[in-house]
Amino acid sequence: MINHAVLGVFDEFEKAEQARAALLADGFGSDALELKVHNDEAGPVEGNFLVGNTAIESEEHVYERNYATPVQRGQCMLMVAAADPATAARASAILAGFGARDPDQLSGAQR
């Protein structure tokens, strides 16, 4: 019986995949892991993809300069179903080792 769920939020899919592989290597079954990727059709939540980084003075502006470094935030979520608190703590430690953020702390930080 699964009584505990651990959720980690990642900005990069590669990190989420690495964490999933580490959990599998640590003995977690694939049926206990769920990786979801959320794409937002509006684009990155941080960056200047609509207006650019600098004013456009002429027709000769460089796209890469004006629309550089958009950042996706919290696009990947990895949920681990754990049977007990010790297993949940082990999963949390593995997720944290790959840079996962706790969604409860994220929501508290936004208030």
Task: Reduce the DSSP state of residue 9 to 3 states and report it.
Answer: strand
User: Over its length of 111 residues, how does the chain's per-residue pLDDT go in tens digits?
Assistant: 567 899 999 988 899 999 999 999 999 999 999 999 876 555 545 554 555 555 555 555 555 555 555 555 557 899 999 999 999 999 999 999 999 998 777 655 544
CATH fold, domain 4-109, is Alpha-Beta Plaits (3.30.70)
pLDDT at 111: 43
Q: Is the dihedral of CA 18, 19, 23, 26 positive or negative?
A: positive
pLDDT at 98: 96
Cβ atoms of residues 100 and 10 within 8 Å: yes
Residue boundaries of the structural domains of the chain? 4-109
